[in-house]
């Protein structure tokens, strides 16, 4: 039976990694073999941990290319988890499809859009091939409503690929995003 592909997306601080960790817990409790990966670009919490902002963590294998995942797969692997997929190239689509075809469940989490509201290509393509897409929201940093779908960069350079946390980014709702941009 083919594995399921689940993609968790949303802005900064929307609990994507927490959601990923809760799926990992299901396999962990079920004593099923799984592997966790994250791009080497995201070194915020150390090279070998996937950590939520709330502090939960699990060990992860750092990769720079999606193809590297394949070297770790065994006959007994039941699920593969990948965090921060926006930092991986779009060959993740082929890798995920191959894994799912061989019966492995694939769970991916990442930002759907940059702080300029541009879709991240890998996230967008993964959403297209997914069996299930979970779109998370965050609490708007400006108005306090639970409808933040966008990330806004408060400092740093203009780069759309720029790892950071609350020192650089806030989550905002579309309305507050417009005001911040001076468009509203
Ligand atoms: Zn708002």
Task: Per-residue pLDDT tens, the chain, 184 aa: give them.
Answer: 899 999 999 999 999 999 999 999 999 999 999 999 999 976 665 556 777 776 677 889 999 999 999 999 999 999 999 999 999 999 999 999 999 999 999 999 999 999 999 999 999 999 999 999 999 999 999 999 999 999 999 988 889 888 888 889 999 999 999 999 987 6
Contact 180, 148 (CB under 8 A): no
Residue bearing tokens 């203009």: 158
Contact 137, 16 (CB under 8 A): no
Closest CA to 109 of 68, 155, 51: 51
Contacts 24+ apart (CB under 8 A), 23-29: 23/79, 23/81, 23/107, 24/58, 24/81, 24/107, 27/78, 27/79
In angstroms, the CA 33 to CA 47 distance is: 21
Neighbours of 99 (CB within 10 A): 21
Q: Say what the pLDDT of residue 171 is.
A: 97
Q: Find the 149 Cα to ligand 1 centroid distance in Å.
A: 10
In angstroms, the CA 96 to CA 99 distance is: 5
Q: Say what the pLDDT of residue 54 is.
A: 67
Q: Find the 35 Cα to ligand 1 centroid distance in Å.
A: 37
Cα distances (Å, whole numbers) of residue 152 to 133, 149, 180: 23, 10, 9
Q: Find the 167 Cα to ligand 1 centroid distance in Å.
A: 19
Q: Find the 84 Cα to ligand 1 centroid distance in Å.
A: 24
> Domains, the chain, ranges and CATH?
5-136 (3.40.50.300)
Q: Find the 16 Cα to ligand 1 centroid distance in Å.
A: 20
Supply 131's token pair: 């069996």
84 is catalytic: yes
Which of 84, 94, 175, 183 is labelled catalytic? Answer: 84
Please state whether the predicted TM-score (pTM) of the whole model is above 0.85.
yes
């Amino acid at each position: 039976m083919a594995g399921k592909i689940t993609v968790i997306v949303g802005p900064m601080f929307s609990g994507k990694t927490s959601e990923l960790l809760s799926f990992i817990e299901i396999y962990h409790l079920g004593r099923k073999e799984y592997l966790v990966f994250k791009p080497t670009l995201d070194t915020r919490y150390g090279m070998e941990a996937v950590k939520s902002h709330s502090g939960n963590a699990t060990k992860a294998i750092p990769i720079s290319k999606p193809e590297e995942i394949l070297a770790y797969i065994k006959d007994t692997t039941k699920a593969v988890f990948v965090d921060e997929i926006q930092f991986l190239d779009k060959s993740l689509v082929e890798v995920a499809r191959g894994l799912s075809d061989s019966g492995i469940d694939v769970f991916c989490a990442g930002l759907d859009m940059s702080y300029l509201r541009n879709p991240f290509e890998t996230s967008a393509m993964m959403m297209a091939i997914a069996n299930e897409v979970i779109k998370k929201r965050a609490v708007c940093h400006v108005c306090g409503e639970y409808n933040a779908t966008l990330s806004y960069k408060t400092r740093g350079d203009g780069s759309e690929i720029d790892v950071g946390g609350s020192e650089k980014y806030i989550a905002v709702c579309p309305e507050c995003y417009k005001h911040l941009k001076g468009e509203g």
